[in-house]
Chain A
Amino acid sequence: MRTIVLAILACASALAADTCVECHSVLEGPLQKPAALFPKQDVHARHNFTCVDCHGGDPTQTDPDASMNKAKGFKRGLNRTSIPALCAKCHSDANLMHKFAPQQRVDQYAQYQTSVHGKLLAKGDDTVATCVDCHSVHDIREVKDGNSPVHPLRLPETCARCHSDAELMTKHKIKSDQFAEYRTSVHWEALAKRGDLSAPSCASCHGNHGATPPAVSSVAAVCGTCHVLYENLYNKSPHQPVFSSMGAGGCTVCHGAHAIQHPGPSMLAGENAVCAQCHDAASNGGAEAIKMAVAIDKLSAELERAGGLLEKARSAGMEVSEAQMKHGEGKEALLKARVAVHAFRAAPVENAANAGMAIAAETLKAGEQALKERDSRRVGLALSLITILITLAGLWMAIRVKDSQGEAAGPARR
């Protein structure tokens, strides 16, 4: 009762044009929340949009019945199924959007309608995500705003709000462990631990407004948007037609979908090798995999050895920056060898690794020479110090002789 009286008093005293905010700000609970959030935190308010742009009504009226009048277009409690179309009213209007965000796309609604979310919503399933589920409501922020739920660093958690809800996902007959798996992946490590905003998250592979699981046939193309070289090699490899015929999703056969781990030679050979799942070690395929693993392991070890020596020399004050730069080229060769694995033949990997081995040998030699030079400098220093000490001793003896011979000079001047 007290709240209603306060609201009426606030409305009556409101001289400002927007009575929606004036009145709702003195209400309690969910009715107050929009008034508390929208004016301060919503990007739309910053561009002078008001409550009526979505809800209709007349914000100049102080009487609630007049301001929230259906005749003036007021919509009480927006239906979830109507939200995408409502947002699209502005966001699909290129002319309007150009005034506020000239570079922003205007096809979000069209994309949404192609998404799993959009298709289900069209069928009347209002448990699927609509605009406000991802972007929030009444405190909608720009994507680049760190507090926005769709900021790259926060997006995985936002998707997980629904997709980790086992009950909800069971209803839609999909798994709910994607986020848990993603959090163990190299992509999550890059995004969350290193703060790399370009690291892939859910939308990078599934799309954002048109969110859909990639078809098996397009997995390589999706991964290839970032991993271009790998995709090219895979598409020409003997695995491509085999995996396609199996209905297996390219890259995910070996790397998994969400829990993508750091790759390494252990994936090629050894007890837990992914190659071993299909190829017996004695088979041609198994032998090729072992050759690739050996070439990469060997180069990696040699580069590590050379790098260690160069670092040791550098910390001893030796100038080895040229050799260290060369060592960087060796690391590039290692990277090339790792990329070449996706041709699934040993020869390209061995070629790249051999080029790296030559660099590793050269830099190892430079490191050894630098340390040898350090040792010879120290020997030279020791000999010089001995000479200096002998000279000092000689001088000291000469001073004693001179002091014993000499007589005191005259009084010192002040």
Chain B
Amino acid sequence: MIAPGAKAGIAGWLEERLGLSAIREFASHKTVPVHSATVWYYFGGITLFLFIIQVLTGMLLLLYYRPTPAEAYESVQFIVTRVEFGWLVRSVHSWSANLMILAAFIHMFSVVFLHAYRKPRELAWLSGLALLGLAMAFGFSGYLLPWNKVSYFATKVGTDMAASVPVIGEALARFLRGGDEVGGATLTRFFGFHVAVLPGITTMLLVVHLALVQKAGMSTPPWLAADKIRSMKFFPNFFLRELMAWYAALGVLGSLAALFPWDLGEKADPFASAPAGIRPEWYFLAPFYTLKLVPAHVWKFEGELVGLLGFALLAVFWVLLPFWGVTKEGMVRTRWVTGAGVALLSYLVTFSLMGYFK
């Protein structure tokens, strides 16, 4: 039991050095709008929560994981069969990675449909999209790490696609693989990306994204009259609600991890032929299936190249949404943006399902 005097002394000592009262002051004045779409505000926080889970479980996995073709599969097998609660840590890591990307997608589309990208939040939109890209890069690099048959061949397909990019394709594929083929160098490289490069960039960008969100405050849909919007205090009212969402997410995550432990599959054999029905993780399924549908040649160009060019244009169009989605006068092109959002969402859902079932 700390005496009240000592407690005040410690608080004063910290205040002198950290200036925590400024943060307390900021938190006490921060508010969150209350309206019919307030529920979508929770998904940014849920994504953050799942990222934290990723970091924590990833650190635990690092204690045993060995990034070499000879040991990677066996070390993961050791984690899930011999290490106390290793199965849970690995399963939670895999499930939370997928749930995090799902939550990030929901967060992105909620921003689009609530038009929260508009001035002055363009940089928050851009940093958010970059974070989504990083999350997918985490997924792509982490998928290979157990060194199982499916992940090995999916990485082969993925890096082959990178090789189709004009001019820099070959160099890009070589950079990713660390050689001409997916092998030990690729595994070491992907491990480095997954546990050092990507976390470093993501953490910095995450800080920027959160700072931008705090700076601009929570956006409200443009169709709501400002004077009719109620609000609640961020702390403790919204914070407690967010905490509930995190607990609910933890319950879902734990249930999935315990009832459907993430499969380890068979160890990769680079000399074996590719198994039938090889496909990437679900969040890459839509572009993967689209590229499969594109004919080998479109006019004078290679079909895959045309497909990749199409995706690049789509990405640019999407990234620039805050700029073409708002008129010079600052009015939101609601119909255009909502239409584009619905079209993209429909495309992603339909093609992902087709890619999964076909």
Task: Give A residues with C-beta under 8 Å from B.
Answer: 317-319, 321-322, 377-378, 380-381, 384-385, 388-389, 391-392, 395-396, 398-399, 402-403, 406, 408-414
Contacts and interface: CB of A to CB of B under 8 A. Distances in A.
A412 B220 contact: yes
B299 interface: no
A412 B231 contact: yes
B49 interface: no
Nearest to B216: A413
Contacts of B258: 377-378, 380-381
B200 interface: no
A170 B176 CA distance: 73
Interface stretch (B136-144, B161-169, B240-248, B289-297): B240-248
A319 B247 contact: no
Contact of B247 (A395, A399, A403, A412): A395
Contacts, number: 93
14 contacts: A319-B77, A319-B81, A377-B87, A377-B258, A395-B244, A396-B244, A402-B236, A409-B233, A410-B231, A411-B226, A412-B32, A412-B33, A412-B217, A413-B217
Nearest to A407: B233
Interface of B: 31-33, 77, 80-81, 87-88, 216-220, 222, 226-227, 229-233, 236-237, 240-241, 243-244, 247-248, 250-251, 254-255, 258-261, 263-264, 266
Given A381-B259, A406-B233, 10 more contacts: A318-B261, A319-B87, A319-B261, A321-B77, A377-B258, A385-B254, A388-B248, A392-B248, A412-B218, A414-B226
Pairs A-B, 5 closest by C-beta atoms: A412-B33, A409-B31, A317-B261, A381-B258, A413-B217
Given A317-B261, A410-B231, A412-B231, A398 B222 contact: no
Contacts of B81: 319, 322
A414 B260 CA distance: 43
Nearest to A380: B258
A381 B255 contact: yes
Nearest to B251: A388
Contacts of B255: 381, 385
Given A381-B254, A388-B247, A406 B87 contact: no
Contact of A385 (B77, B217, B251, B266): B251
A50 to B, nearest CB: 41
A318 B240 CA distance: 36
A412 B33 CA distance: 5
Given A388-B250, A392-B244, A322 B77 contact: yes
A81 B244 CA distance: 95
A406 B259 contact: no
Given A321-B264, A378-B258, A406-B232, A412 B240 contact: no
Given A402-B237, A414-B220, A414-B226, A409 B231 contact: yes
Most buried by A among B216, B247, B255, B258: B258
Contacts of A409: 31, 231-233
Contacts of B254: 381, 384-385, 388
A394 to B, nearest CB: 10
Contact of A399 (B219, B231, B240, B260): B240
A412 B243 contact: no
A394 B222 CA distance: 35
Contacts of B216: 413
A410 B226 CA distance: 11
A366 B258 CA distance: 19
Nearest to A408: B230
Contacts of A318: 261
B269 to A, nearest CB: 14
A398 B240 contact: yes
Contacts of A408: 230-232
Most buried by B among A385, A391, A396, A413: A413
Given A321-B77, A385-B255, A411-B227, A406 B237 contact: yes
B263 to A, nearest CB: 7
B31 A410 contact: yes
Contact of B263 (A317, A322, A403, A414): A317
A411 B218 CA distance: 11
B31 A378 contact: no
A32 B333 CA distance: 77
Contacts of B261: 317-319
Contacts of A402: 236-237, 240
B77 A412 contact: no
A368 to B, nearest CB: 15
Contacts of A413: 33, 216-220
Nearest to B34: A412
B229 A411 contact: yes
B219 A414 contact: yes
A396 B237 CA distance: 10
B262 to A, nearest CB: 8
Most buried by B among A319, A388, A392: A319
A392 B241 CA distance: 10
A385 B219 CA distance: 34
A294 to B, nearest CB: 35
Given A411-B231, A414-B220, A414-B222, A378 B244 contact: no
A380 to B, nearest CB: 7
Contacts of A377: 87-88, 258
Contacts of B88: 377
Contacts of B227: 411
A396 B247 CA distance: 12
Contacts of A410: 31, 231
Nearest to B258: A381
A406 B239 CA distance: 14
Contacts of A392: 244, 247-248
A403 B244 CA distance: 15
A395 B240 contact: yes
